[in-house]
Amino acid sequence: MVGVKIRSPTIIFLQRARMVFALTALIPTVFITVIGIVLLATGGSKSAAVVGGILVLCFCGTALAGYALGTILVTRGASLAAVQNEFLSSVSHELRTPLTSIRLFIDTLREDRVHDPAEKQRCLNVIHQELARLDGLVAKLLTLSRIESRHAAFDRRPVAVADIVSEAMVAFEAIRFGTEVDLKVSLEPGLMVNGDQSALAQALANLLGNAWKYTPPQGRRIELSATGDVREVSIVVADNGVGIPGSEQKAIFNKFRRGSAAVNSGSTGTGLGLAVVRAIVTAHRGKIDVHSEENRGARFRILLPRQSAEAV
């Protein structure tokens, strides 16, 4: 059965608006342009006809420019509507999956279909895990919404990079608890940035958590380094994991986008972690990029404006 892609009413409305705009603006402009050309061609020495032709052509040029700008704006509106619909569809899917699982296990326990205490405990554990997943998903969505709507109140104060790394390491220790990992940390002393320590630590902890999650347990190695020059501070998280194909390295920073290696590994995730990292870094007037090859690890780099020690 061939799937039919249903367009939203918003997109249909914008497409109709673009068509009406073309009919009401472009077609009359073409006719008036023809009239202007005829006036110029047949005016001869009659200055009034020549001036009239020039004015008509100027009007037509302005109308065409307005049509082009209007088309660009309408097209951009259609694109934003498509992105919004895709986002809502992704959110619905991500919410429906754990809710379906929770409902299934609750029905199983409510109808007393499981009598073994160990199986009952397993059902409760699954419900707890799915609730935690829902809680994490909603928290990340709220964080993204606040940042992107510029309602997130970030502190703007000088903070030492060493303090950011220290707070991120506390969060990372909770993630990697009980597992072996060769973690190397190298920090250039005296590095300062201007921003929110907790938010930047959250972004760095997300990168460390991803490095741990997508690196095989055997020989797992993660390197965290921070260096700086006169203008910028560079914070790098590198691992020896599965890597990211070049075709996916831009898309993984979008909401609900996960790399193929992450999906194939079967690891859990919402596809929001890197979107949160990029939003936090961008809000601090910074940049984030990634360099990676398949099966040769990944290297994420955060660039932030450096705060001079004299200004502290």
DSSP label at residue 6: P
What is residue 246's predicted lDDT score, i.e. its pLDDT? 76
Percent with pLDDT over 90 in the chain: 20
Q: What angle do CA 270, 284, 236 make, to 5 degrees?
A: 65
Chosen CATH of 157-311 out of 3.40.50.620, 3.50.30.50, 3.30.565.10, 3.40.50.170: 3.30.565.10
* Pairwise CA distance, residues 151 & 81, whole Å: 22
Residue ranges of domains in the chain? 1-151, 157-311
Q: How many helices (H) and strands (E) does the chain have?
A: 8, 7
β-sheet bridge partners, residue 225: 186, 236
1-151 against 157-311: fold identical: no
- Has residue 9 got a pLDDT over 60? no
Of 285 and 214, the one with more pLDDT: 285
**Position with higher pLDDT, 253 vs 84:** 253
Q: Are strands 192-195 and 157-160 parallel, antiparallel or unpaired?
A: antiparallel
pLDDT at 3: 41
User: How far, in Å, CA of 105 to CA of 114, rounded?
Assistant: 10
- pLDDT tens-digit profile of 33-86? 666 666 666 655 555 555 566 666 666 666 666 666 666 666 666 565 555 555
- Confidence at residue 222, expressed as pLDDT on a 0 to 100 scale: 92
Q: Which CATH number fits domain 1-151: 1.10.287.130, 1.10.10.60, 2.40.50.140, 3.30.450.40?
A: 1.10.287.130
Confidence check: pLDDT of 105 > 80? yes
First-last CA distance in the chain: 66
Whether the per-residue pLDDT at 170 is higher than 90: the answer is no
Q: Is the pLDDT of residue 308 over 50?
A: yes
Q: Across residues 172-191, what is the average pLDDT?
A: 85
Mean pLDDT of the chain: 76
Which pLDDT does position 296 carry in this prediction? 83
SS3 per-residue string spanning 222-242? EEEEEEECCCEEEEEEEECCC
Q: With bands split at pLDDT 50, 70 and 90, how would you rate the model's confidence at 6?
A: very low
Residue 113 has pLDDT above 60, yes or no: yes
**Overall average pLDDT of the 22-41 stretch:** 65
